[in-house]
Amino acid sequence: MTLLSLPDDLRGAFKDPMGPVYTDPERLLADAGDPIVAVGDVVTYHLRVAGRDPDVAVIDGKTKREAVGEEIAAVLDGENRRIEVDNEPATLSAAMLGALVEALASDDPVVIHVTGEEDLATVPAIVAAPEGASVVYGQPDEGMVLVDVTPESRREARELLEALDGDTAAALSALGVGK
């Protein structure tokens, strides 16, 4: 069930990086907190190749709306527990939000495999992740964006979440945060 969707007039708000952009995964990892939430196949791939399995990886088997190559797909097929969710493009489903909360609570790395699209998962990940965590997502043709979860970044992410169309109260409740 879709809880929130991205209105056309808000698409521009998601274009600018929410943190510094890195092209070197080792530098990013040196600056990252714990746990690490990776949103996107290519980001997850780069972190794993650099020797750090994200605590939570949200993947959909695509990059720039095209299937990822075999080399990336092979690295993404790990032994971690998988949660399968449906999430339509430009939306956030109840299943996606529930999977984020479940994965963040796990002591072991979890892969959330999305049928549909995972692009908006960055925002609820920042809202739900503990302070001190890092959320990493891809900025197309630029690199990887590192967002440290702080009261400020959480407030900004929550404002973006609340600007989406749909049932904000149900979404916040699914994330375990109150109005």
Joined tokens for residue 68: 């990822």
What pTM was estimated for this model as a whole?
0.95
In this prediction, residue 179 has a pLDDT band, given cuts at 50, 70 and 90, of low
For residue 76, give every residue at least 6 positions away whose Cβ sits within 8 Å of its Cβ, in sequence order, or none. 41, 44, 45, 48, 57, 59, 61, 68, 111
Cβ contacts of 13-20, under 8 Å, gap ≥ 24? 13/160, 13/163, 14/119, 14/120, 14/160, 17/139, 17/142, 17/145, 18/122, 18/126, 18/145, 18/147, 18/153, 18/156, 18/157, 19/145, 19/146, 19/147, 19/148, 19/153, 20/145, 20/146
Beta-strand pair 110-116/56-59: parallel
| Residue 13: pLDDT over 70 | yes
Radius of gyration of the CA atoms of the chain, in A: 15
In this prediction, residue 67 has a pLDDT band, given cuts at 50, 70 and 90, of confident
**pLDDT per position as a tens digit, 79-118:** 899 999 999 999 999 999 999 999 999 999 999 999 999 9
